[in-house]
């Protein structure tokens, strides 16, 4: 179970979508079959919540405007009518209070899904996420587990200004005892939210407002009510051999577009959709870098102490000899988010930033000499 | 031996050795729970937006004796913890409850183990009241495997889930919303139980308390907020911290009751009243007027912000154990010597528990990585030098 391990990063299988099944089905793993249906991320989240609430009476939803308003972003639409006000609970604007109430109810065995209208407001309640939820199983030596999900939009939207645009992936991702998930597609949204709700530990589920309206193809198995994705496994969205690009949430879409542009320049990029910040799928990332020898990390959050910094450190620790170029980080600008559209555009990664960083990683054959 | 027959749930012989002590000829008071004795609380209750309960309370000899015995044990445990801390066997934080015993004893007498309790970091006696063992308490304080949290929590993180005791919390005020969450679950599940969320006069000013109280009142949660007002939030007296130190009134639309927290029967009556109220009408606040003899923690002498006269004054006039002693003697339920013997036995039980706790080993090194998750999916975790120490979380 545990032991002192010198070298443990083997080649990960690098399989594309690993699907965890809850009812036995004939074939084991496969890519998603030819898409017959499209689904928005919003509907994916809504249907996941609906199915999990139907399956387990202990699951309930709590947050601001989740009930009568049908959800600030309509993610919880229809749930109040279906499940009633005892299970879809509208709260006052008191995050510290209702996050604490949610955690307390989880101590007593309920399975709350607490919505933060955006994760910026989670800072009001962050003590409960970390000290009351994340650490309890450890401090109680396993007596008190906390099967809670904190979900809501994370990161920038469009023009919402500095106080409403921060990405909390790095902060929550650093806390042992938490699981931090970052869906991109509708398949991710359904599978990861269902997994999060079923998980016995506290999960921070970071969505993205601008992705809610985006449609993605979904296969029959994704639509099945038993569909679940494994926690802690990244997905290779696009296979490639020249460079690895890691991304999560909205940046996966940007990375895929950057990969198309890079293809025209003869650079074949592998795009990894992290899906999970904690646990971080170091095995998949390292296996990919050992194959491609170059890495660009992409995130919308602040650059210092960010997700890319952790991925870079992991690759340097486990796959140093395989790197043919320094790791490139593309991240949000190191400034509070400005409002003006042109400045806001400069504050977050654009497709051309990813392309440029990838090209840099590809043309730099020897390490750059230290600048004077 | 006589003590094995005693009604107290706390004093149980730890080993065969202790049960071979001399048999004390006792009058049959210790199991007499049929004779009714009526006691009056020291002061009447003061109500806020509610009709206070009567200050006449019925009890039995059995209950009177068990209160005395259990409080004596708790008092001994805390004093022993003081010595252990000074000999560096207990590290970090240690917040002692001596003086406040009547609150948890009176509360337990009014409720069941299916009612929930959650408190802050002054939790050792509350743990005992919920059925926790002395050995588990001392072993946890000393960071050993035999501790109630297997040495991983420490003084501030005692839990006993099967007795609905949810800790043991280090962040001032956080336990109040958590307690309202426990009450939320009880109501969700349509249980006939309540939650007592305990906090101090320092925590009483926390914003999250009012956020949680508002929701508890909106949704009629069976939550009882118990302010253990020992008049000092660490080194700050209540009049310096609260514009209104009438904590039982601070709920505004939520009814409240002010209780003499040094009187175990007043506490019992108040908790009984509160439980009935909460099950029908939602939250209620109980302010327990109590006192701690020790400083805030072992790093606080407790005498820079209050006079020694004040401390000894409370000890002489209001000590909860002395109050019980006088009552027991007045009702002729035991002699002074018998009561002293009970206290001696408490001391003995505590000493035995400590020596057993000292035998308990420190946690195995592998425990560094256990219980991070309930379900770890085989994920990797790392020690300080990650190339040297890694573990797979089951």
| Cα Rg of chain B (Å, integer) | 21
Q: What is the mean pLDDT of residues A340-360?
A: 97
Q: How far is CA B178 from CA A41, A153, B116, B120, in A?
A: 32, 24, 11, 11
Q: What is the DSSP string of A189-255?
A: HHHHHHHHHH-SS-EEEEE-GGGTT-EEEE-HHHHSTT-B--TT--EEEE--SSEEEEE-THHHHHH
The shortest CB-CB distance from A103 to any of B157, B181, B394 is to B181
C-alpha dist (Å) from residue A255 to A216, A248, A272, A284, A355: 16, 9, 9, 17, 8
Q: Give the number of beta-carbon pairs within 8 Å between A and B.
A: 177
* Cβ distance of B159 and A144 shorter than 8 Å: yes
B149/A98 CB distance under 8 A: no
pLDDT-derived band at A3, boundaries 50, 70, 90: very low
Q: Which residues of B touch A107 (CB under 8 A)?
A: 166, 178, 181-182, 185
Q: Please give the pLDDT value at position B27.
A: 55
Residue from A110, A169, A95 nearest A145 by CA: A110
Q: Do A1 and B167 touch (CB under 8 A)?
A: no
Q: How far apart are CA B44 and CA B275, in angstroms?
A: 19
- Least confident span in A188-202, A259-273, A357-371, B44-58: A357-371
Q: Is the pLDDT of residue A367 over 60?
A: no
Q: Please report the pLDDT score of residue B24 as a whole number.
A: 42
Nearest CA in chain A to B208: A97
Indicate if A128 belongs to the active site. no
Catalytic residue among A52, A64, A95, A221: A95
State the pLDDT at residue B82: 98
For residue A264, is pLDDT > 50? yes
Q: Which residues of A touch B159 (CB under 8 A)?
A: 139-140, 143-144
Closest CA–CA distance from residue B115 to any residue of chain A (Å): 11
Q: Do the Cβ atoms of A176 and B381 come within 8 Å?
A: yes
Separation in Å, CA of A189 to nearest CA in chain B: 20
Give the separation between CA B185 and CA B174, rounded to whole angstroms. 17
List the one residue out of A201, A178, A34 whose CA is nearest residue A106: A201
Give the closest of B371, B377, B390 to A142, CB-based: B371
- At residue B8 the predicted structure's pLDDT band, cuts being 50, 70 and 90, is low
pLDDT at B28: 59
Q: Closest Cα partner for A204 from A229, A172, A163?
A: A172
User: From the CA of A43, how many Å to the nearest CA of chain B?
Assistant: 27
Tell if the CB–CB gap between B380 and A127 is shorter than 8 Å.
no
List, for residues B56-103, the tens digit of each pLDDT value. 999 999 999 999 999 999 999 999 999 999 999 999 999 999 999 999
- Among B177, B282, B377, pick the best mutation site for testing chain A contact (most A Cβ within 10 A): B177
Q: What pLDDT is stored for residue B240 in this prediction?
A: 97
Give chain B's count of helices (H) and strands (E): 12, 12
| pLDDT category of residue B20 using cuts at 50, 70 and 90 | very low
Tell if the CB–CB gap between A104 and B185 is shorter than 8 Å: yes
A99 shares contact with chain B (CB less than 8 Å): yes
Rounded to whole angstroms, the Cα distance separating B95 from B311 reads 17
**Residue contact B389–A108, C-beta within 8 A:** no
Partners of residue A177 in chain B, C-beta under 8 Å: 372-373
CB contacts, 8 Å: B92 with chain A: none
Per DSSP bridges, beta strands A269-273 and A179-181 are unpaired
**Interface with A, mutate which of B144, B373, B375, B394 (most A CBs under 10 A):** B373
The partner residue sitting opposite B174, judged by closest CB among A3, A128, A140, is A128
Are B180 and A101 within 8 A, CB to CB? Answer: yes
The complex's ipTM works out to 0.91
- The pLDDT score that the predictor gives to residue B86 is 97
Residues in chain B, total: 394
Predicted confidence band of residue A36 (pLDDT cuts 50, 70, 90) = confident
Label residue A34 by pLDDT band (50, 70, 90). low
pLDDT tens digits along A180-192 = 999 999 999 999 9
Minimal C-alpha gap between A205 and chain B (Å): 17
Q: How far apart are CA A173 and CA A2, in angstroms?
A: 22
* Ordered DSSP codes for B252-294: TTS-EEEEETT-HHHHHHHHHHHHHHHHHH--EEEEEE---SS
SS (H, E, C) B63-98: HHHHHHHHHHHHHHHHHHHHHHHHCCCCCCCCCCCC
Pairing of strands B195-200, B116-118: parallel
Three-class SS state of B199 = strand
3-state SS class at A108:
coil
Average pLDDT of the segment spanning A315-322: 98
In this prediction, residue B40 carries a pLDDT of 95
Is residue A372 over pLDDT 50?
no
Q: Which residue reads 């998980």 in tokens?
A: A199
What's the pLDDT band for B29 if we cut at 50, 70, 90? low
Give the pLDDT band (50/70/90) at residue A363. Answer: confident
Of the candidates A127, A137, A144, which has its C-beta nearest B171's C-beta? A127
Q: For B188-198, what is the mean pLDDT? A: 98
Q: Convert the pLDDT of each residue in B127-151 to its tens digit.
A: 999 999 999 999 999 999 999 999 9
Report the phi/psi class of residue A293: left, alpha or beta, with left for phi > 0 and alpha for psi in -120 to 50. Answer: left
What are the tokens at B317? 């006039």
Flag if A101 and B177 touch (Cβ within 8 Å): yes
Cβ-Cβ contacts under 8 Å for A254 (sequence gap 6 or more): A247, A298, A349, A350, A351, A354
Q: β-pairing, A37-40 with A215-218? A: antiparallel
Q: Would the pLDDT of A98 be above 60?
A: yes
Instruction: Return the pLDDT at B34.
Output: 86
At A215, list the tokens. 């449609």
Whether residues A200 and B375 touch (CB distance < 8 A) is answered with yes
Chain-chain contact of B177 with A128 (C-beta, under 8 angstroms): yes
CB B58 within 8 A of CB B36: yes
Tokens standing for B25? 């000829």
Chain B neighbours among A 149-188 (CB < 8 Å)? 176-177, 179
Q: Please list, in sequence order, all residues whose beta carbon lies within 8 angstroms of the beta carbon of residue A14, skipping any fewer than 6 positions away.
A: A236, A284, A287, A288
- Of A1-5, A170-174, B89-93, where does mean pLDDT reach its minimum? A1-5
Rounded to whole angstroms, how far apart are CA atoms B107 and B96?
18
A51 is catalytic: no
Q: What is the DSSP letter of A326?
A: P
Reply yes or no: is the peptide bond before residue A6 cis, omega within 30 of 0.
no
Helix-strand-coil split of chain A, %, nearest 5? 40, 15, 45
| Cβ neighbour number for residue A326 with a 10 Å cutoff | 15
Read off the pLDDT band of B33 (50, 70, 90). Answer: confident
Q: What is the pLDDT of residue B304?
A: 95
Decide if B215 and A94 are in contact by the 8 Å CB cutoff. yes
Question: Per residue in B316-372, pLDDT tens?
Answer: 999 999 999 999 999 999 999 999 999 999 999 999 999 999 999 999 999 999 999
Query: Is the pLDDT at B385 greater than 70, yes or no?
Result: yes
Q: At B394, is the pLDDT very low, low, confident or very high (cuts 50, 70, 90)? A: confident
How buried is A324 (Cβ within 10 angstroms: 0-12 exposed, 13-18 middle, 19+ buried)? middle
Q: Is A230 on the interface with B (CB under 8 A)?
A: yes
Interval A37-72: pLDDT, tens? 999 999 999 999 999 999 999 999 999 999 999 999
Q: Report chain A residues whose CB lies below 8 A from the CB of B117.
A: none
Taking the CA atoms of residue B261, residue B263, residue B265 and residue B267 in that order, the dihedral angle to the nearest 10 degrees is 0
Q: Which residues of B touch A143 (CB under 8 A)?
A: 149, 159-161
Torsion angles phi and psi, residue B22, rounded to 5: -60, 145
The answer to whether the CB of A182 falls within 8 A of the CB of A277 is yes
As a whole number of angstroms, the longest Cα–Cα distance in chain B is: 70
Q: Is B348 exposed, middle or buried (0-12, 13-18, 19+ CB in 10 A)?
A: middle
Alpha-carbon torsion angle B353, B354, B360, B365, nearest 10: 130
**Given this model, what pLDDT does residue A13 score?**
40
CA dihedral defined by A345, A349, A351, A355, rounded to 10 degrees?
A: 130
> For residues B75-95, b (16+ Cβ closer than 10 Å) or e, as one string?
bbbbbbbeebbeeebbeeebb
pLDDT digits (tens, 9 = 90+) for B154-182: 999 999 999 999 999 999 999 999 999 99
DSSP character at residue B148:
T
Kindly list the residues from chain A whose CB atom is less than 8 angstroms away from the CB atom of residue B219.
Answer: 89
- Report pLDDT digits (tens) over B235-277: 999 999 999 999 999 999 999 999 999 999 999 999 999 999 9
What whole-number distance in Å separates Cα of residue B339 and Cα of residue B326? 11
> Among the listed ranges A318-327, B30-39, B215-224, B260-269, which one has the minimum average pLDDT value?
B30-39
Q: Are A116 and B227 within 8 A, CB to CB?
A: no
Report pLDDT for A22.
43
Supply φ then ψ for residue A263, to 5 degrees: -55, -40
Q: Please say if the pLDDT value at position B16 is more than 80.
A: no
Among the listed residues A5, A132, A168, the one whose alpha carbon sits nearest the alpha carbon of residue B381: A5
Q: In the prediction, which pLDDT does A309 show?
A: 98
- pLDDT of res. B275: 98
Reported as a single tens digit per residue, the pLDDT across B113-131 is 999 999 999 999 999 999 9
Q: Determine the residue among B374, B387, B392 to mutate to test chain A binding: the one whose Cβ has the most chain A Cβ atoms within 10 Å.
A: B374
């Amino acid at each position: 179970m545990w032991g002192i391990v010198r070298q443990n990063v083997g080649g990960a299988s690098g399989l594309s979508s690993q699907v965890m099944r809850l009812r036995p089905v004939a074939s084991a793993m496969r890519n998603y079959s030819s898409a017959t249906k499209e689904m928005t991320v919003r509907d994916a989240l809504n249907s996941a919540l609906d199915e999990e609430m139907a399956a387990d009476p202990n699951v309930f939803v709590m947050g601001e405007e989740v009930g009568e308003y049908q959800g600030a972003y309509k993610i919880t639409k229809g749930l109040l009518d279906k499940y009633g006000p005892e299970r879809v609970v509208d709260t006052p604007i008191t995050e510290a209070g209702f996050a604490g109430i949610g955690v307390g109810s989880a101590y007593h065995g309920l399975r709350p899904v607490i919505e933060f209208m955006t994760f910026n407001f989670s800072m009001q309640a962050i003590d409960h996420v970390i000290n009351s939820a994340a650490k309890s199983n450890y401090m109680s030596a396993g007596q008190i587990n906390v099967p809670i999900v904190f979900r809501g939009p994370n990161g920038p939207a469009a023009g919402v200004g500095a106080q409403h645009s921060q990405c909390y992936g790095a902060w929550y991702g650093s806390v042992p005892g938490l699981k931090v998930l970052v869906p991109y597609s509708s398949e991710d949204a359904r599978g990861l939210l269902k997994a999060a709700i079923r998980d016995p530990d506290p999960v921070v589920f970071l969505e993205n407002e601008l992705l809610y309206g985006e449609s993605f193809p979904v296969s029959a198995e994704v639509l099945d009510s038993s569909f679940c994705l494994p926690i802690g496994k990244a997905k290779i969205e696009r296979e490639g051999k020249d460079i690895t690009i890691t991304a999560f949430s909205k940046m996966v879409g940007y990375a895929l577009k950057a990969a198309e542009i890079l293809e025209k320049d003869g650079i074949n990029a592998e795009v990894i959709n992290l899906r999970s910040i904690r646990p971080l799928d170091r095995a998949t990332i390292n296996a990919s870098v050992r194959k491609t020898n170059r890495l660009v990390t992409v995130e919308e959050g602040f650059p210092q102490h960010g997700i890319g910094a952790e991925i870079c450190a992991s690759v340097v620790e486990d796959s140093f000899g395989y790197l043919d170029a320094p790791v490139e980080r593309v991240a949000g600008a190191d400034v509070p988010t400005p409002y003006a559209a042109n400045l806001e555009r400069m504050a977050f990664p654009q497709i051309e930033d990813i392309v440029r960083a990838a090209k840099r990683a590809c043309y730099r054959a020897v390490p750059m000499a230290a600048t004077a | 031996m006589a003590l094995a027959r005693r009604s107290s749930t706390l004093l149980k012989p730890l080993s065969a050795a202790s049960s071979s002590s001399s048999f004390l000829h006792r009058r049959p008071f210790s199991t007499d729970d049929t004779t009714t004795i009526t006691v009056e609380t020291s002061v009447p209750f003061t109500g806020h937006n509610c009709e206070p309960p009567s200050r006449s309370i019925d009890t039995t000899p059995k209950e009177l004796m068990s209160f005395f015995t259990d409080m004596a044990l708790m008092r001994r445990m805390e004093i022993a913890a003081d010595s252990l801390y000074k000999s560096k066997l207990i590290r970090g934080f240690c917040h002692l409850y001596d003086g406040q015993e009547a609150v948890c004893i009176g509360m337990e007498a009014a409720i069941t183990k299916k009612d929930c309790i959650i408190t802050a970091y002054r939790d050792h006696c509350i743990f005992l009241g919920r059925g926790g063992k002395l050995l588990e308490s001392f072993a946890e304080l000393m960071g050993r495997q035999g501790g109630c949290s297997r040495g991983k929590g420490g003084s501030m993180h005692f839990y006993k889930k099967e007795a609905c005791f949810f800790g043991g919390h280090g962040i001032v005020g956080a336990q109040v919303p958590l307690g309202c969450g426990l009450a939320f679950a009880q109501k969700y599940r349509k249980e006939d139980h309540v939650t007592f969320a305990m906090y101090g006069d320092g925590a009483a000013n926390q914003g999250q308390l009012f956020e949680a109280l508002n929701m508890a009142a909106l949704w009629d949660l069976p939550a009882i907020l118990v302010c253990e007002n020992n008049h000092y939030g660490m080194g700050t007296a209540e009049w310096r911290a609260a514009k209104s130190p009438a904590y039982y009134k601070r709920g505004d639309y939520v009814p409240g009751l002010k209780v003499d927290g040094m009187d175990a029967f007043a506490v019992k009556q108040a908790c009984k009243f509160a439980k009935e109220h909460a099950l029908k009408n939602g939250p209620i606040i109980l302010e327990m007027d109590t006192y701690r003899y020790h400083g805030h923690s072992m790093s606080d002498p407790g005498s820079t912000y209050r006079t020694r006269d004040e401390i000894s004054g409370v000890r002489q006039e209001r000590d909860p154990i002395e109050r019980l002693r006088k009552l027991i003697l007045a009702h002729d339920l035991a002699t002074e010597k018998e009561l002293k013997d009970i206290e001696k036995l408490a001391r003995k039980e505590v000493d035995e528990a400590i020596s057993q706790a000292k035998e308990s080993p420190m946690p195995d090194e592998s425990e560094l990585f256990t219980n991070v998750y309930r379900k770890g999916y085989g994920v990797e975790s790392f020690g300080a030098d990650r190339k040297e120490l890694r573990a797979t979380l089951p």
